[in-house]
Every structure is written in structure tokens, then in C-alpha cells.
Chain A
Amino acid sequence: EADIYQTPRYLVIGTGKKITLECSQTMGHDKMYWYQQDPGMELHLIHYSYGVNSTEKGDLSSESTVSRIRTEHFPLTLESARPSHTSQYLCASREDRFYGYTFGSGTRLTVV
């Protein structure tokens, strides 16, 4: 039973389109994260938030943006998708730094 939900699970779009990947959690966690992962590879942090109205860029340069208007919602937006954005995007949340991440199932994005 997932407590963090990502939609859509799969998305194929054309170059230049604007897209928003949704992430919602029901656990009331303040800390949320977006990671990018190529198949079978390590995770790279692209954005994080430690509460409402706070967002920071992660270690991996990304052309995406995020917002955190509500605790439970942390959407990621690509203004103009490119084939280089093809990847899996994973959203996670955490109660505090002593606990592990709870991950969503991910969005597999393909830009053609």
C-alpha cells in the first residue's frame, strides 16, 4: 500500500512539450525529493524541499522546476521537453533525517 503516489507511471511526449510530473504523499512529511535515474543506475538528486514554499536544486543540473505550495504535493515541471530528458523520475519523502526514504513508483518519461 503506497503512501506516496506518482502520476503518470509512463509518459511518451514530443519534443518541446510542457509536462508536469505529479507527486503526492499522505504521511505529512516535510522533506520531499526528486531523483533522476537511468535504468539500473544510481539515483541523482535534482530537487528537494524541506517544507512548504521552500525548494532547492540538487546535485544534478536539471532544466526542470518544482513547487511546494502544500505539504502533500511536490510537482516537477519541464517547460520544454527534450530527448535528453528521457529517464525515470522518482519522488521520495522522509519523516526526518533519522528515517529512510519512502519512494513512489516513479514516472518513466520518454521524449521523442
Chain B
Amino acid sequence: TQLLEQSPQFLSIQEGENLTVYCNSSSVFSSLQWYRQEPGEGPVLLVTVVTGGEVKKLKRLTFQFGDARKDSSLHITAAQPGDTGLYLCAVPAGGTSYGKLTFGQGTILTVHP
């Protein structure tokens, strides 16, 4: 059983379209992070959300943390080919101070020109 369920697993859209990807769990988290990974590279942190109901914007990307801190969404407005990549959500893994993260299985986004 996955701790984090991301959906959809694959998303193929045309440039200019809007999209939303989801990260869901039955557990409550103190924080949640979103990363984007381009082919052949390591993931890059996009945002950290910590407060239930929090909304953060990063240019055309809008991130929301659920009120109960069990889920999150990432909305992209007017997608561009440069948005293509693997989008991963991640949460703290357990109560240790070692800072480990558990990742979802990711959403592969392809934006066609």
C-alpha cells in the first residue's frame, strides 16, 4: 500500500491547457513538498506547504495543501513545453530527526507544442 497516491500517473496535453495533479493519503502530515524532475536530472524542489488550507503560487503553478493536511494539489495554468517532467510529492517519513522523505510514484506530464 502506497503512503502517497499521485494521480493521474500520466498526463499528455497541448500547450496552453490547464491541468491539475493530485497527491493523496489517509495519513496526516506536518508538511508536504512538490518536486519536478526533468529527464536525466535529479528532482528540484518547487514548494513546501506546512499549514492546512495553505495556497502557494509560483508563477503559473498553484499549490494547495488540504485543510486536514492529508492531501495536496498542483495546478498549472497555460502549460508550456518547459513544464514537461515528472512531478513528485513527498512527505516526512516517520518521526525521526533524520529528515527522511517518502515520495509518491509521480505524475509524468508531457506538454506538446
**Chain A residues proximal to chain B, CB less than 8 Å:** 31, 33, 35, 40-43, 45, 48, 50, 56, 58-59, 90, 92, 94, 96-106, 108
Contacts and interface: CB of A to CB of B under 8 A. Distances in A.
Given A96-B99, A97-B99, A101-B101, A42 B45 contact: no
Contacts, number: 63
A52 to B, nearest CB: 14
B45 A40 contact: no
A100 B99 CA distance: 9
A45 B100 contact: yes
Given A42-B88, A42-B105, A105 B42 contact: yes
A103 B104 contact: no
A90 B33 CA distance: 18
B40 interface: yes
A106 B41 contact: yes
B103 A42 contact: yes
Contacts of A56: 98
Interface residues of B, number: 26
Interface of B: 31, 33, 35, 40-45, 48, 86, 88, 90, 92-93, 97-106, 108
A42 B101 CA distance: 12
Nearest to A39: B39
A50 B98 contact: yes
B43 A103 contact: yes
Contacts of A50: 97-99
Nearest to A45: B100
A100 B48 contact: yes
Nearest to B47: A100
A52 B110 CA distance: 41
B105 A97 contact: no
Nearest to A97: B99
A15 to B, nearest CB: 25
Nearest to A42: B105
A94 B93 contact: no
